[in-house]
């Protein structure tokens, strides 16, 4: 409900103001028509127009038009369709392995998910206390007037994890995701030379849902990720974005 109010506050204010002005103007129309000022005399007509514009804005906000275009990772190995022009960002995922085998983040103040989801399996083969850093390149788009973030990213697999199987990587990723929130599902999703998995994760006590399609290539991990609040997680554009993800 809070997200809905934030998304449509402008339209709601205009509609409410127009509705109030309409009732006021029609109740005082005889007095307003006698005014020497043109705007005052026109208020009985302008007020309904304001209300109609508010309702139209509400409809347009609820059904926005998007310009879908396919965007590619820097190495052109994966792609997905975005409803607007994405921006490119680069981050370094840094992590280390504790004596108990737990993967933890080394980046001060950064969320754990930025390191674990990108590294996963390779870290399981490293000795306690060892460290690794991997560059992650991301195309991101924040959907206007929606609490939704869409991302297409990839990160290369370090040489230390090159010999791991797909099953080993998935198990390591499941452990990493379990530290971030509640892992709802992790299932194969698609057929082809590169295995793709669909992963659904809830965070922040169920207030945020992350749906990911993860492709595990021999040399890199590719991800299409949609993160949304509970009010926006069923938005059709999330389904379209994730369905458009493919390996080239």
> Chain centroid to CA 193: how far?
27
Determine the structural domain holding residue 153 and report its residue range.
Answer: 69-247
Residues 159-187, mean pLDDT to the nearest whole number: 82
> Looking at residue 106, which CATH number applies to its domain?
3.40.1000.10
Residue 37 pLDDT greater than 50, yes or no: yes
User: What was the pLDDT predicted at 225?
Assistant: 94
Least confident of 63-67, 85-89, 127-131: 127-131
User: Smallest Cα–Cα separation from 245: which of 147, 153, 120?
Assistant: 153
CA 135 → CA 21, 131, 155, 232, distances in Å?
57, 14, 6, 30
What residues have CB less than 8 Å from 193, skipping those under 6 apart?
247
Least confident of 89-93, 94-98, 230-234: 94-98
According to DSSP H, which parts of 66-224 are helical? Answer: 113-119, 121-124, 166-180
Is residue 173 within 8 A of residue 119, CB to CB? The reply is no
End residue of a domain, out of 62, 82, 111: 62
126-148 mean pLDDT: 76
pLDDT band for position 243 (cuts 50, 70, 90): very high
d(CA 107, CA 113): 11
pLDDT tier, 90 (very low <50, low <70, confident <90, very high otherwise): confident
Q: Is residue 98 predicted with pLDDT exceeding 90?
A: no
- Residue 70: count of CB within 10 angstroms of its CB: 11
Query: Is the domain of 104 the same as that of 13?
Result: no
Structure tokens at 217: 């290539």
Same domain, residue pair 206 and 109:
yes
**Are 55 and 73 in a shared domain?**
no
Which of 33-42, 60-69, 132-141, 208-217 is modeled with the greatest confidence? 208-217
Task: Specify the pTM.
Answer: 0.65
Do 90 and 203 belong together in one domain? yes
Q: 32 pLDDT exceeds 50?
A: yes
Question: Do residues 31 and 143 both lie within one domain?
Answer: no
Domain count, the chain: 2
């Amino acid at each position: 409900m809070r997200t809905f109010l934030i998304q449509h506050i402008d339209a709601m204010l205009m509609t409410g103001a127009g509705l109030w002005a309409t009732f006021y103007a029609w109740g005082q129309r005889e007095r307003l028509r006698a005014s020497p000022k043109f705007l005052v005399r026109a208020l009985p007509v302008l007020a309904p127009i304001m209300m109609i514009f508010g309702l139209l804005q509400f409809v347009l906000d609820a059904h926005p038009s998007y310009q879908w275009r396919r965007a590619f990772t820097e190495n052109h190995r994966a792609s997905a369709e975005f409803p607007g022009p994405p921006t490119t960002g680069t981050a370094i995922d840094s992590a280390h392995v504790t004596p108990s085998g737990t993967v933890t983040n080394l980046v001060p103040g950064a969320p754990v998910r930025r390191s674990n989801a990108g590294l996963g399996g390779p870290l399981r083969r490293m000795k306690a206390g060892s460290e690794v850093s991997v560059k992650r390149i991301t195309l991101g788009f924040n959907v206007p007037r929606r609490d939704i973030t869409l991302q297409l990213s990839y990160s290369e697999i370090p040489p230390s994890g090159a010999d791991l199987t797909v099953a080993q990587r998935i198990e390591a990723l499941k452990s990493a995701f379990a530290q971030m929130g509640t892992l709802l599902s992790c299932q194969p999703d698609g057929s082809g030379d590169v295995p793709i998995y669909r992963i659904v994760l809830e965070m922040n006590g169920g207030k945020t849902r992350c749906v990911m399609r993860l492709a595990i290539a021999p040399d890199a991990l590719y991800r299409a990720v949609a993160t949304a609040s509970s009010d926006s997680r069923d938005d059709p554009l999330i389904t379209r974005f994730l369905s458009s993800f493919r390996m080239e």
